[in-house]
Amino acid sequence: MSDKYRRKFHSDELIATFDDILILPGYTYFNPNEVNISSKLGKHVFNTPIFSAAMDSVTEELMAIQMALLGGMGVIHRNCTHERQLEMVKMVKRARSFVVEDVATIHLEEPVSKAKYMMENYGISGLVVLNNLKKVCGIITKRDIPFIDSSLKNGKVKDFMTKDVISISPNASREEALDVLFRHRIEKLPIIDKEGYLKGLITKKDLTPEFPLASKDEEGHLLCALALSPKFPESLEVQKKLMEIDKYVDYFFIDVADFYKEQDIRATKKLMELLESDFVLGNIGTYKAAEHLITKCDFLEDKFVGVKVGMGSGSICTTSIQTGVGAPTLFATAQVADAIEEYNPNISLIADGGFKIPGDLPKAITAGADFIMSGHFFAGCTESPGYIDTIQGRKVKVYRGMGSKEARSAGYVADRYIEDSKMLPEGVSDYVPFVGDVAGVLSSLKEGLRNGMIYAGAKTISEMKNAEIGFISVVGYGEAKPHDLIGKY
């Protein structure tokens, strides 16, 4: 165990978690509004260093879009088919950009019912219509779709589309696009070259600076991350499907409970050679595991951009109970951070799981994290998958661990845990309170992080890693909470 870990935790034997420590107050030399919580993963900087977990009851396209708009990122789960994953990552990339390059189109002879189906299932409000020469000949939006069933059944797109398409030429500026959209009171503006071929699409919502903190790529599309099995697919068909998904993904998060295994490491190296996107590897929980990944595995250095740490800390995870093995997130973060600092400071650290309150975020950053990832905070949001139920008059949503019997029975994440032990669940399913939009949740988390940094005297994430930590007794922890009051807290 490294000296730095000893300095922070003053013990070689204690495996500490969030409630065991407090950050000591520091000298604040700056104005509170100068705090900068941005953090870097690979080549991208995130204004909100918070990710939603790759769980099927937490992150699908709606959560991923909203997280990216608010400056963080949602990691789409892998408990589904590759076809479904492709649909979701496409939706994320189409959600916001100055120019949409992968434009949804339809042929003018197609039935109007197909246009309606595409709009409803792809989450879009309009389609550009092409003729036999693949040139633009119209546009059809939700407002053009007939209400009468007979028209839907027998009508064709050409019968309902708008034929006089208002467009703009390639290389037009943002100001020109805004002017055309405003003058004609339209929301979609196709980009058409002199020969009549479609080159892209500009939408009104993408030009509006509604989300100044949004996480975007170089082309203005939202950043997108996807969970990935470490297994290398031998099927050429599956390899091609992954390569197609790769076009829409910025980060692949290897998604296993314990990545410190020779089989997973070898397979991941092959995946890195097949795919172009950056990789975050995990989960791991010790200094030795991080040292091994960084110094002995020969991963492609330009693609190995992050590591995800923590094992058994999640509120719906039972790995440590079922197996007797685990690495609580705070302990794992401090251990792995020491290895990263020693061997490759360019690798980012994502602390994954075990977070209960906003005050846990600054603790994770102080222990060495660059980002935090949580399922618990976001499972009850409007944007998480599933419907809102009511139990005893209280609104709730289902939250299930990916090691739970229910999640593993789907068959797509059997390799996230020990495959030969399918009957041993390493997670549970239960309800969490419905908490409303994710924007409100993120606002509280960011305030907790910012205020913690202010009290600790840290202006940036990197400075926060130098804050001092002290252990707190059980009595001290009880004193830190509301106490000696008539009401219940």
Active site residues: 317, 416
Distances in Å between the Cα of 287 and the Cα atoms of 91, 260, 291, 336, 338 are: 38, 11, 6, 5, 7
The tokens describing 469, both together, are: 């930590």
Q: How far apart are CA 243 and CA 335, in angstroms?
A: 34
Residue 285's closest CA among 6, 79, 15, 22? 15
Angle, helix 360-367 to helix 329-343, in steps of 10 degrees? 30
The tokens describing 20, both together, are: 């065991």
End-to-end C-alpha distance for the chain, whole angstroms: 39
Unique residue bearing structure tokens 């290897």: 254
Give the max Cα distance, the chain. Answer: 78
User: Pseudo-torsion of CA 459, 461, 462, 468, nearest 10°?
Assistant: 80
Residue 375's closest CA among 348, 407, 405? 407
- Which residues make Cβ contacts (< 8 Å) with residue 261, sequence separation at least 6? none
For residue 175, is it left (φ>0), alpha (ψ between -120 and 50) or beta? alpha
Unique residue bearing structure tokens 């000696």: 484
> 201: which strand partners?
100, 190
On whether the CB atoms of residues 372 and 314 are closer than 8 A, the answer is no
The tokens describing 33, both together, are: 């509004």
- Which residues make Cβ contacts (< 8 Å) with residue 130, sequence separation at least 6? 105, 106, 107, 108, 136, 137, 198
Q: How far apart are CA 108 and CA 163, in angstroms?
A: 10
Q: How far apart are CA 191 and CA 189, in angstroms?
A: 7
The tokens describing 274, both together, are: 């097949």
Distances in Å between the Cα of 210 and the Cα atoms of 65, 70, 83, 205, 417 are: 14, 10, 31, 8, 41
The tokens describing 437, both together, are: 């939009």
On whether the CB atoms of residues 279 and 305 are closer than 8 A, the answer is yes
Unique residue bearing structure tokens 């097949």: 274
On whether the CB atoms of residues 335 and 287 are closer than 8 A, the answer is yes
